[in-house]
A = this chain, B = another copy of it.
Amino acid sequence: MARLSDVIEALLKEMIDENQGSVEITRGELAEQLNCVPSQITYVLSTRFTNGQGYLVESRRGGGGWIRIHKLVTTDTASQYVMHALNTMGDELTQHQAYVFLRNFVDYQVIEESMAKIMQAAVSDHSLQLIEGPIKDKVRMQILKQMILQHSM
């Protein structure tokens, strides 16, 4: 029979993958579902979800407490994602498309929230209001590309 710890590990990793790289649980509930003592969860977290293994675990005690597990994005995958994104971008970008891109970058931890906001401001319609017609979306793309390139240097 499979080890309990392995079952818990597999379950958590499945939950994480189904949830964009992070998950929130309450230790007690999960323990109950799996029919084990709560500290077993702690054990699994400390042996299979360490920092060195690419995970970050936060928690909070007390009423309504929780445990969150984040899968860290390695710079390798991040830069791969950026490369792919840049290549599929084409040479035009609407304001909305830019927002979607930036949102994804944040989700994939390529850039931080605060950085995304600055970039969003830079490529907003408001910033580019003086530009006429079809050139606007091309300039927008140029700006975003330059910023992203700069960022990954």
Which A residues lie at the B interface, using CB under 8 A? Answer: 1-6, 63-64, 114-115, 117-122, 124, 126-131, 135, 138-139, 142-143, 146-147, 149-151
In angstroms, Cα B113 to Cα A150, docked, is 12
Q: How many copies does the complex hold?
A: 2
A115 and B139 alpha carbons, distance in the complex (Å):
20
Partner pick for A126 among B121, B129, B138, B146, CB 8 A cutoff? B146
Q: 4 tightest A-B contacts by CB? A: A3-B64, A121-B150, A121-B146, A122-B122
Cα distance A131–B139 when bound, in Å?
8
Q: How far is the CA of A124 from the CA of B5 in the complex (A)?
A: 37
Which B residues lie within 8 Å of A121 (CB)?
Answer: 143, 146-147, 149-150
Tell me, rounded to whole Å, the shortest Cβ–Cβ distance linking A143 to chain B: 4
Q: Once bound together, how far apart are the Cα atoms of A124 and B145, in whole Å?
A: 12
Residues of B within 8 A of A114 (CB): 151
Please pick, from B1, B64, B130, the residue contacting A139 in the complex, using a CB distance under 8 A: B130
A122 near B147 with CB under 8 A, answer yes
- Which residue of chain B has the shortest Cβ distance to A142 in the bound complex? B127
Q: Which residues of B contact A117 (CB under 8 A)?
A: 150-151
Selected A-B contacts with CB under 8 Å, 15 pairs: A2-B64, A6-B64, A115-B115, A118-B119, A118-B151, A122-B143, A122-B147, A124-B146, A126-B142, A127-B139, A127-B142, A127-B146, A130-B139, A131-B139, A143-B143
Q: How far, in angstroms, from A120 to B146 measured CA to CA in the complex?
A: 9
- Which B residues are CB-close (under 8 A) to A118? 115, 118-119, 147, 150-151
